[in-house]
Structure formats: structure tokens, C-alpha cells
Structure 1
Amino acid sequence: MLNLESLLIRFEHLLPPPHAELNWAAPAFRWRKKIVLGTSVGWLEAIHHPHKIQLADLQNVEPQKAEIARNTRQFVQGRLANNVLLTGTRGTGKSSLVKAVLHEYVSQGLRLVEVDKDDLCDLADIVALLAPRPERFIVFCDDLSFEEGEGGYKALKSVLDGSVAATSSNVLIYATSNRRHLLPEYFDENLKTRHVDGEIHPADAVEEKISLSERFGLWLSFYPFTQDEYLVAARHWLAEFGVRQWDETTERAALNWALGRGSRSGRVAWQFARDLAGRGKTDRVISRPSPHGKDSGDPCQP
């Protein structure tokens, strides 16, 4: 039979690490959750080696890059700044831009806290944990969208600016989404103007659905790549992986790869380059002209 000390040791292993032991010098953190004795418990986990990407690596998103860099620079300097919603086509650099601003400003005290959409109900607790710290935190939620009835929607809305408590000056929320309106809207909602199902003010219900997006002070939109932009990205990543040949055969292979994926984006270009480089074709070196007449670099990191 296990003695009391052994039981306590086993129970201690079930518990998350205490916040007092957290290494706040880490550049990034992730909110983790587990069920302990039937109760959901959350804690911050330090990430000492986050994915590094530089702002200079991101091309063909210059307006978006300039805006998010300006907003983040104001934030780390202690000036007023806005929460940011990055929306648009998948694979065009939304998440990478958030990672890039972390890399750019981490030496100035910026930190990133990644929170899964399913854990947004804990957002108020996370902000309360970060508020006393001297660092500046971006709470990052990737691929954000909600279905009807999900609780994280109201939690996020409250933290953005709807709570009676003042928002913490050292916390901003950056979120990415493939759609601008974060809750689904339906054509039949227009029918509710005839008071279907007893709704007296149906327009208010529709307004409720778009109000979450409007609580982000800065919107950045991302658009599909043109063929030339996609090829520039493919050439860049091939060069990064040691394949410096670019000819008609390689270009055709890149286009066929995008056709097979049904998309032209920086992510697809990165995947194509990894595939080609992984086949061992790293010993051929020639110039790699750009369709724009110059080497433009990478428009997107996956």
C-alpha cells in the first residue's frame, strides 16, 4: 500500500508548475490546460526557442508589415497602441508577421503568449497574470473564428474593451483569421426582420455578430498571391535550402505544385522548395532572375 508521502508525490506530478517558477526571460509562452481531479487547471509554459523570422524576410506585404511594426513599436515604447486583427487568404503571412514582430522587438521587452481558441474562456485570468509584469505582452490567437454558442467569443469581447475593469496597459491581443467577421452570418437572418421566432429586435442580433471584429482597433487584410509573387517566393526558398538553379523546368514544377494544391501562397512555395531540396538537388547553382526584374525575396513564411 502506498504511504501518504508517495501519494503526495504522485499528486504533485498531476499539478501544473507554480507561476512563481516561471522563467519570464523566455521570449514566448503558451497557455496550457489539463484536468486535475475533475477541475480544469491552466498555466503558462515558457517557450525558449520560438520560430524565428525577420520582418525583412516578408515581402509583398509591405503595407501590412509597416502598420503592424508601427503599432508594435508604439506598444513596446509605452505609448498607446491597438489590438490587431489580421484577416485574409490562408498561407499569405498573417501568423508569420506576428512572429516577426516578436523577433524584432523581443530585445525591447516584448513577449508573446499563444492562446488556443478553445482556451479563450481563460483570457481574463491570463491578462490578470500578465498585468503586474514589467514586460509588454502580445496575446496571440491563431486561426480565430467562432461557431454559434462558443464561450470564448464573449470572453474575448469582454477583454478587448467590454469589461467594467480597465484593460491592462502591457497587454495587446493579436489574432489571425481567414474571415473578417469572426462569427458566421446567414442569409436567412434577413428574414428575422419579420420577427421570426419571436425576435423583436432582430437587427441587434446581427450587429452582435460583427461587433467582435470592430473591437480590434487595427485591421490588416491579406490577399492571394499573383503567379509572379508565388514564383518569387518559390525561388527564395529554394535558395534558402541550397537549390540555386532556376530554369523553365523548375518554374513549371513550381506551378504544377501550386496547381495540385489549388493555391498560390508563400506556404505552398515553402512546401514546394522543401520537397525539391529534399530530393538532394542542392548542387546546382546559377542565377535566379525575378519576374519583376530584381530579386524580391520571400513574400511569406508559412
Structure 2
Amino acid sequence: MKHPIKRIAAALERAFPQFGTAPSGRYRAWAFDADRGFRPIQRMQLPSLDDLLHLERQKNLAERNTRQFVNGLPANHMLLWGARGTGKSSLVRALLQHFGDAGLRLVEVDNRGLNRLPELVEPLAARPERFVIFADDLAFDADDAGYRALKALLDGRLGGLPENVLLYATSNRRHLIPEPRHENDAGPDQELHPQEASEERISLSERFGLWLAFHPLSQDQYLDIVWHHLARLNATIADDERKELAIEAVRFATLRGSRSARVASQFAADHAGHRLLNGVR
């Protein structure tokens, strides 16, 4: 039986001829999980950076870091954290759209696949492309040992990551591991040095050199994004309709408990589709 690393390398070599070394390679995005290994992502929605509104600081920092990376310059692993639906994953995918012609490639990995990162990155080291390992919605339980292996890899132990590989991760939590509600409580069953336990809990996020925070939108920002997506969908809104439509859009967000870019896009799709279905543009 082949060694697991050799099996993964063989699978990647079979797939990469379709990928190609030129920017015209067929696939720019891949998925890796612990059960199926590598597989190309044939259809992937890649937004433009211009479509991500009210994220100027986040876009500027992420674009600069990624530009350094694709040019072979020092760059940092990146943690994008914050409320759900605020554009974290969309920003990472927009970077692939922006830098794909420059050789950037994306490998999506789930939490279980992260435990096999050393095996995953070994065959990438010899490739000419620049790879972002993308861990979407990254989180660990308090008793999950996987975060220690990931921390060691980011520290340069376990072989470290090759110079053409970076890790970009999104999470709803900045520190990736939830803090127990009782951690700051005094009691006979608590740890002797709770501060050390707390520092251990946040130590993984500190291995990311670039932190980008994503916050909930104001109502005006939310409506800006609604109008933007409606325009992209060619839904013409008359001036006398905007006030009533804004009320509908806010109600839509309230029912979903979130005023986010994702919800704004969903409302625009619903409204534009309904108008077009009825022959109104």
C-alpha cells in the first residue's frame, strides 16, 4: 500500500495537468477534504472587489497582502473574522478573481482536512503557482486537539508551510476557540492559572499576521448594497418606488435577524426575479 503522502501527491499530479502552469489553466480553485482528497471546483462564483461595498479598509489590506504574496514578497497569513454574511468569504474569492491571472490559486479545506495540512501542502511546494489555503468558517471546540497541530504548522514546526503557500481563514470568532463562561470564575474546580489557559486559547489567532474585522452594517449601508445589487440585476427602480422598496428591504432583513451584505443580495435577487417574472423592468 502506498504511503498516504505519496497517494495524495499522485492524485494531485493526475489533476494538475488540467490545471496548467499558465494563467489559462482550466481550474483555479480546488477543494480538499479528509475523505475525498483533492478535487477541482468547476463552477465557483467569484465576485469583483468593486462589488464589495463598505469594506474599503478590509479590501485594501487584503489586496496589498495578496499582491505581495503573488509577487514572491513576504506576506502574512490572514484571519477574517466577524458577523455572518458580512463579506468575509466573498473577499477571499474576490482576491482569486483579481489575482488569478497573476498565478494565484485557491484550495478550500474543511476543519478535518486541516489536520492533514502537512500532507496537503507538500506537493504544492514544487508548483510555480501561489496557493492560498482557504479555511472557511474556521472554529475549534475547546477540547479539539487539531488547533495545536495547525498552530505548530504556522509556527514553522511540522515542516512549516512552503513559501508559495499562505493560509486565509474566516471565522465568526476572533480567537477561534470559545471561552468557557466559567473561565473567569473563582472556584475549587477551576485551573490554578486561568490566565495561562486563556492565553493558550487565543494563541492560534496570533499566528495570523493580518486580522481583518467585519462588522454589522448600518441601515444606510445595507440599503446601499440593496440598490447596488438591484442595478447589477438590471432591475430599474423608479424614484417614487424607492421609499416603499426600502421599507420592504428592511423588513426582509428584520425577518432574517441580520442586516448583512448576504441578506441584501438575497432581497435584491427576490425582488428583481419577481419583477422580471411579471414583465416589469
TM-score normalised to structure 1 length: 0.81
Where does residue 155 of structure 1 map in the other structure? 149
Q: Secondary structure at the match of 2:115?
A: helix
Larger C-alpha radius of gyration, 1 or 2? 1
Which residue of 256, 273, 276 maps to 2:251? 256
Where does residue 19 of structure 1 map in the other structure? 12
**1:195 deviation in Å?**
6.8
Question: What is the identity, as a one-letter code, of the residue corresponding to 2:196?
Answer: D
Q: Indicate if the aligned counterparts of 1:161 and 1:167 stay in contact, CA closer than 8 A.
A: no
Where does residue 29 of structure 1 map in the other structure? 30
Where does residue 115 of structure 1 map in the other structure? 109
CA distance in 2, matches of 1:200, 1:261: 43
Q: Secondary structure at the match of 1:237?
A: helix
Q: Residues 45-64 of structure 1: matches in 2 within 5 Å?
A: 45-64=39-58
Question: What is the identity, as a one-letter code, of the residue corresponding to 1:264?
Answer: R
Q: Secondary structure at the match of 1:137?
A: strand
Q: Deviations over 1:245-288 (max 9, x none)?
A: 15222111111111111111110011111111222347555xxx
Where does residue 77 of structure 2 map in the other structure? 83
Question: What is the identity, as a one-letter code, of the residue corresponding to 2:199?
Answer: E
Q: Deviations over 1:2-37 (max 9, x none)?
A: xxxxxxxxxxxxx99832211333201100343xxx
Which residue of 109, 119, 128 maps to 1:134? 128
Q: Deviations over 1:165-224 (max 9, x none)?
A: 3431000000001111111112422346x7746x45443222110000111000000111
CA distance in 1, matches of 2:160, 2:11: 26
User: Is there any run of 5+ residues in structure 1 with no aligned partner, and where?
Assistant: 1-14, 35-41, 286-302
* Corresponding position: 1:106 with 2:107: no
Q: 1:207 to 1:195 in 2, by over 3 A?
A: farther
Q: Secondary structure at the match of 1:18?
A: helix
Q: Indicate if the aligned counterparts of 1:121 and 1:151 stay in contact, CA closer than 8 A.
A: no
Q: Which runs of structure 1 show a deviation greater than 3 angstroms over 4 or more consecutive aligned residues?
A: 194-197, 199-202, 280-285
**1:124 deviation in Å?**
1.3
Q: Indicate if the aligned counterparts of 1:55 and 1:65 stay in contact, CA closer than 8 A.
A: yes
Where does residue 223 of structure 1 map in the other structure? 215
**1:48 deviation in Å?**
3.4
**1:155 deviation in Å?**
2.4
TM-score normalised to structure 2 length: 0.86
Equivalent residues, number: 262
Q: Secondary structure at the match of 1:280?
A: helix
Percent identity for Structure 1 against Structure 2 = 46
Q: Secondary structure at the match of 1:155?
A: helix
CA distance in 2, matches of 1:281, 1:106: 34
Which residue of 192, 198, 212 maps to 1:206? 198
